[in-house]
Amino acid sequence: MKGKVKMRMFIAFGLVFSVTIGLFMSLVIISMCDIKNKKKKRIAIIVLAFVIGFLIGGTFCLQTQMDNKNWNNGFCLKCGGQYELTEVTHIKNSGNLYYYTCKDCGYTIKLETLKNN
């Protein structure tokens, strides 16, 4: 079941980013190329949009999976104690980093998504 959810998330992210960012970037890139045939140009735009979109979407999926793996349902990977939010750092034009520290052993993890205890 987990594999199906991961694949659905990958496809959803890929399609969303293909239509939004990928299409725009491929239009810019292909406009700089010297392709005279309109049909070939359209095919190149569509293929490039999907490649860009799925690369970006795949990156988001991998980051989410790594955050979930490190989070381990709120339990420390080293000792099994519970994590608590200790710090939030804002990165300009990027987002936030959330630092969680184990109450028992002091092990700290860094996540890009806010988790609930």
| CA-wise closest residue to 108 among 91, 92, 86 | 86
3 state DSSP class of 115: coil
Q: What is the pLDDT along the chain (117 residues), one digit of tens a residue?
A: 455 667 887 888 888 888 888 888 988 888 888 888 889 888 988 999 999 988 988 888 888 888 888 899 999 989 999 999 999 999 888 789 999 999 999 999 999 888 876
Q: Residue 18: what pLDDT?
A: 86
The distance in angstroms from the start CA to the end CA of the chain is 24
Q: How far apart are CA 67 and CA 26, in angstroms?
A: 30
75, containing H or E segment: none
Full-prediction pTM beyond 0.85? no
Q: How far apart are CA 48 and CA 26, in angstroms?
A: 6
Q: Residue 1: what pLDDT?
A: 43
Q: Residue 59: what pLDDT?
A: 87
Q: Which residues contact 95 (CB under 8 A, 6 or more apart)?
A: 112
Q: Give the start-to-end residue ranges of the domains of the chain.
A: 2-71, 75-111
User: How would you class 84 by CB atoms within 10 Å of its CB: exposed for 0-12, middle for 13-18, buried for 19 or more?
Assistant: exposed
Q: Residue 106: what pLDDT?
A: 92
